[in-house]
Amino acid sequence: MPGWVPVVGQKEGPLPPPPPVAANNVPTVDEASVRALLSTSDDAVSDRIVAVVNNDAITLGELHESIVVYRQENREGTSTPSDGELAKQFLNKLIDNRLQLQEAEREKVTVEDDEITEELTERMKKFGATTMEQFEQMVREQGLTMENVRKRLKEALILQKVVHRKVRLRVSVTERDVDRYLSDNRDKLEVGLSYHARHILVQPEEPDRESSWEDARRRADGLRAQILSGADFAEIARAFSKDATAADGGDLGTLKRGELAQDIETQILALKPGELSMPFRSPLGWHIFRLETKDTLDGDGLVRARQQIRDILFRQKFEARQEAWLKEIKQRAIIELRM
């Protein structure tokens, strides 16, 4: 079973984790001191205060638990940071969380027992436990207690609520924002669109002779004329194409824009669905393309693109707003490290 950390499911849209925030009023963590402290199992040392956030203490035990859970979750990784590096990362995160919990207390944000129980049930299902007793056994195997788990879940729910109130509700994306992004990034958005095409390759018998290239072009013109007169493209491809796709009736399959050489792709995408290209010369020979289908930023494709843009812009604005909020509450906080 993977290492268990209670992560609250989002019910009202994406709420990314707090981004790292530069906090000039937070002292630097001494990695050597952290390694020395973390190496002991003395309960008295575990209760040692490593930081004070507005008179609210963070203990070495809390810091150590965060590192233990992280290592359990990443025990299959090829490499993990040192305890000192993790201590810096998680102590800053604990400080951020403590500041937000204090904001939640000021805002009178609360969580009911039923909400915690509901989240516990979701965690139980996620990790394959069929009963709460089985789930409690899994928790104990991780070196945690249900009391720890409920406390973590309660804090996670409170954080979700206060972030929703102080950040998410203050973020909006307008249609004008979407229009501007679409106009500025249309080429990039089209890169991800797909198309489906077929292909016939006619090669010169003597590539070193220009007359052989002309003969190959006339044969390509003839094949194209047959198709325009009603011959089946796939049958013509099977009979005459020298490309590896001949056996499949010249089917190139579904392609993403940018997968083929630019000159070839330009020829294909200039066509309308069902349209046949003029013979096109490349170092390999003469090509005839037929476009089957093409996704565009129109109709349903445009609807999907606009929703993707809204998601992108919301995340950008959300992260900027959250960073500004965290900086604001840090600037008025009194934070002391006691490493």
Q: What is the pLDDT of residues 54-85, one digit of tens each?
A: 989 999 888 887 887 777 667 655 566 777 78
More confidently predicted of 17 and 65 = 65
Q: What is the rounded average pLDDT of the residues 22-27?
A: 47
pTM for the model: 0.61
CATH class of 194-294: alpha beta
Which one, of 283, 288, 126, lies nearest residue 202 by Cα? 288
Fold held by 31-172: Triger factor/SurA peptide-binding fold (1.10.4030)
Residue 141 is predicted with a pLDDT of: 80
CA torsion sign, 163 to 166 to 169 to 175?
negative
157 pLDDT exceeds 80? yes
Residue ranges of the domains in the chain? 31-172, 194-294
Domain 31-172 identical in fold to domain 194-294: no
Collapsed DSSP state (helix, strand, coil) of residue 5: coil
**What is the C-alpha to C-alpha distance for residues 98 and 59, in angstroms, rounded to an integer?**
12
Query: Which token pair is 182?
Result: 């679409």
pLDDT for residue 30 is more than 70: no
| Buried-exposed string 222-237: b where 16+ CB fall within 10 A, e elsewhere | ebbeebeeeeebbebb
* Among 166, 172, 227, residue whose Cα is nearest residue 199: 227
Give the residue among 138, 127, 171 at the shortest CA–CA distance from 323: 171
For the chain, what percent of residues have pLDDT higher than 70? 84
Of the CA atoms within 13 Å of residue 167, those in its CB half-sphere come to 33
Mean pLDDT of the chain: 84
Query: Which of 187, 300, 199, 296 minimizes the C-alpha distance to 249?
Result: 199
204 vs 284: CA distance, rounded Å:
9
The residue assigned the tokens 């669109």 is 193
Q: Is the pLDDT of residue 106 over 70?
A: yes
**Helix %, strand %, coil % of the chain (to 5):** 55, 10, 35
**Residue 84, pLDDT score:** 76
* Of 32 and 272, more confident: 272
- What pLDDT, on a 0 to 100 scale, did the predictor assign at position 329? 94
Mean pLDDT on 41-47: 62
Average pLDDT for 220-245: 96
pLDDT of residue 87: 82
Separation of alpha carbons 308 and 303, rounded Å: 9
